[in-house]
Structure 1
Amino acid sequence: MHVRNAATLSEAVLGEPHEVLLRLLSLALLLGFGWLFRNSLRKNRRLTADLTRALDEASLARQRSDGVLAAIGDGVSIQGTDFRILYQNAAHRELVQGDFVGRFCYQAYDHQEQVCNNCPVARTFADGGIHRLEKRLEGKEGLSHIEILSSPLRNAAGEIVAGIEVVRDISLSKAATEEATLRSRFLQRLIDTIPNPLFYKDSAGRYQGCNQAFLDLHGLTREAVVGRQVEDLAPPELAAHYRQQDDALFASGGIQSYEEQVCCGDGQVRDFVFSKATYGPEKGPPAGLVGVMVDLTARKQTEREIRQLNLELQRQAAELAASNRELEAFGYSLSHDLRNPLSRVSLAAEILEERAFSQLDETGQYCLVRIREGCDSMTMLSDALLRLSRLTLSELKREEVDLAAVARRIFKGLTQEETGRQSRFIAPANLIVEGDPQMLGVLLENLIGNAWKYTRDEELARIELGRREREDGPVYFLCDNGTGFDMAQAGDLFQPFRRLHSQEQYPGAGIGLATVKRVVERHGGQVWAESAPGNGSCFFFSLLPPAG
């Protein structure tokens, strides 16, 4: 104890009693206040530590919540019930291009003086629900689309004390959606331009889409088709066939094609060919199938008509062949049977002429001459008919024939019979064809004989045999510089007994060119002529080319 304090204490104790008591009480009071102050100071230190710890924890929680909100990537803001902005995370500030804490949202975002129409936060305050709104924003970088989601923030009593607004930039997804919509419209328009009905289904067999031709065929709307099964659109018996084919395609994959009937919207049942294929990922089961339909009804009807026409044509051809055979047999029989009576008449006329011609008067002599001429003409005609019949009835034997060599031999024979005529024959060194040698010889005999006959009045008869090439094959010709004929009469040229000149001018049986036509037709070819009066004639013919 300090010396001064000790003296004072001693003096106090030794003083008057009431003074001593007073001093003791003062001392006790002083000690009590000191204890109380010390106790209070200790409690304050503990409270300060607790408060500091609580503030630190709150700050940490705030930092954690800020970190979570920042990591979300979406803009988040909190607005009081008076629409004053209480909080914005970094993403929100970037989206709305500013820090607007403390300002009213309708003033900060939309420059309005009152709450905006369709405000999702206002609707949340009104009914306590979660609301969504899409909105367009025009900023420095152009037009953008945002999605706003609002939800209530409640206190422990369940009362709404604020609204949480989450803002998301949906520009990319919006653009992707619009692009997908545009692509879908383009593809729909594309398949609608296809005239054949087209459809596609998912793996469960539900129609996912079709083109306009499919709708027109069934008389349905797109809404009545999409999402439906085949059993909803087709009669049971047809639907069962369609389902069976779909199941087989899903099981095997690849491409499928088959014919099936379809009951159309107008009640008609038509024939179609279905061409279908599966689609989906490279590995795993198919996601669905796509099919195209081709209407075969008209083609099948045409095929039925063609078959009927072919049957009718075959019947007519058989009848014609039978008639031709009968006619040819009749012609052969007639020409053959005429020979005996004709020979007897000719012989009798010849004997009468030799023995009694001088005894006949002028009229009798004239009649006898006419009988002899008629017999000769009938004999020539009978021989021609026999040759024509033999050409029709005989078997065609194909082998190589040199037309040039045959023609030169025929021409040489004619010049030897009439040595006084001036003539020239032109032909290639050889002209090889495939055909019946005897028939082709008859053909050339008639053509060259015809040319020889009609060039008799020319100072120099010119006859030429040759060949020309055409797209459909070679054509052979025999031309002369003779009398010629009017092409208006060409239709009768190859008919039997049709003559363009009188018998007196140019004698003949009238069957030579008909024989030419028969030979050419038996060789599968065609024959025609070109001419003009006084300018000669050209006869053209084709022959069926060798097989193989």
Structure 2
Amino acid sequence: MVDSPSSPDVSFRQQRLLESTRLIPWEFDLREQRFTYIGPQIEPLLGYPVEAWYEPGFWPRHIHPDDQSWVPDFCLQAAHDGQDHEFEYRMLDSQGRCIWLRDLVNVVSDASGPVILQGYLLDITEEKRAQDVMEALARASSVLDTEDFLHNCVRDLARAYDARYAFIGLLKPGQAEVMTLAVWAGDRLANNFEYDLEGTPCKDVLDLKKELIPRDASRLYPSDTLLADMGVESYFGAPLIASSGKMLGLVSVMDTRPMELTRWTAPMLGVFATRISVELERKFATERLQELNQRLEERVRQRTDDLEAFTYSVSHDLRAPLRSIKGFALALHEDLAGQLNDQAQDYLGRIHQGAVRMNELIDDLLELSRLTRTTMHTESLLLDTLAQEVAEELLNRHQGPAPELHIATRATVLADPGLLRIALTNLLENALKYSRDRELPRIELNTDEHADERVFCVSDNGIGFDMARADKLFQPFQRLDNARGYPGSGVGLATVARVIHRHGGRIWADATPGEGARFYFTLGEPDDAWIP
């Protein structure tokens, strides 16, 4: 015979079924201000006997002190208004531990108004703890310093698991020892230490990839004297694994009491372990980058020292014999001029001119070296003003037809004025030099925009050059064939290129033999926009 829905046996079975779930049913009499029923699941959750809940005033007395000021009033006001409601709050269990509850409340009324509250309690402590852990991890991740991050992690882990100890350990070379990076003990950070892995739960973490021991940890690992000395009863650990799969170390929490295993225990520890692993990888990568930078800086310093030595050698060791050659050639010319034939006089002149030429090459070489080593001091300046000053200086000593000079730029640039003056001097001087044989030399400096890049151009109507040889233009001491009849050392354009590159810019050229040349350059990001 099947029981009807109204059968007492059916009602009993339904009650037993309800009491076997995580939902804890309850009933509260508003007139008597006490519970008249609560499910038996409440006793193992909070540790108080069910009968204690039926005493008036029991419930508000055991609400967490931080929630006592609002929870009873909120609930009674909602009941008075006849509104079903749901809220979350904390209670203290019989051991003084905080338990989070979600309360779902229905208001039952009669003709006189609300008389009974009925509802369900749900333990949400694990969810709240997981939420707190994730928030703690987010806060820990906001710090920039790795050491501070690791300190925050062990502190927050100990609090999240209500554990006395937490530490992060790094495997030492050889994989037999661990060196801690951060340790939490009691209520504060503790000193780091090193220990052997053999016979410890940490070794099992690294071998088995996880270890959750809710109780009897010291008994399970009798050879681990550190556990015994610390009085450890429970141990949770997770490995720190790099993205490459390499084992980095481990993170663990320990307590002198048994720790509860919940569905959040392993996932929360795993999330922390993953984030710590990422941070350690970032730290190691940063350290490697710093080491490479230091080595690079050392190489640069060495090359700078070598360059200084070379510059000193060029400046002193090469100039001394040149002075001797010039001096003796001049002495021969002055003392024996009447005794030398025309051919001998010509030889002496060539010796003197060669020494002068060599001295000019040394000057150009030193200038090129100085450009590489000099410290830049950038400022905002008008390019046309600087170019006009340079042009006037060049025209004052120019021999030949007066050129038609047109400076068509009013751009503001961020540059080192001394270095940029050198670049403009070389470009404009070349334009004057290679257009001197024109009946009307024409030189221009203008500006244009190309693909969001500001490009400057110095152009002339001089002899031009063959673009097939253009790759040699900006190399030191390289001169094109059609430039042989013009003075110069072949260092000017190399100097310009170094100045432009030091400003983060580019330089290139375009030309047609017999029709002139155009030299284009950029200066990286301009300081401000065009001036109208």
TM-score bracket for this pair, using the shorter chain length:
0.3 to 0.5
The structure whose residues are more often helix, as a share, is: 1
Structure whose alpha-carbon radius of gyration is higher? 1
TM-score norm. by structure 1 comes to 0.44
TM-score norm. by structure 2 comes to 0.45
Q: RCO higher in 1 or 2 (8 Å CA, sep ≥ 6)?
A: 2
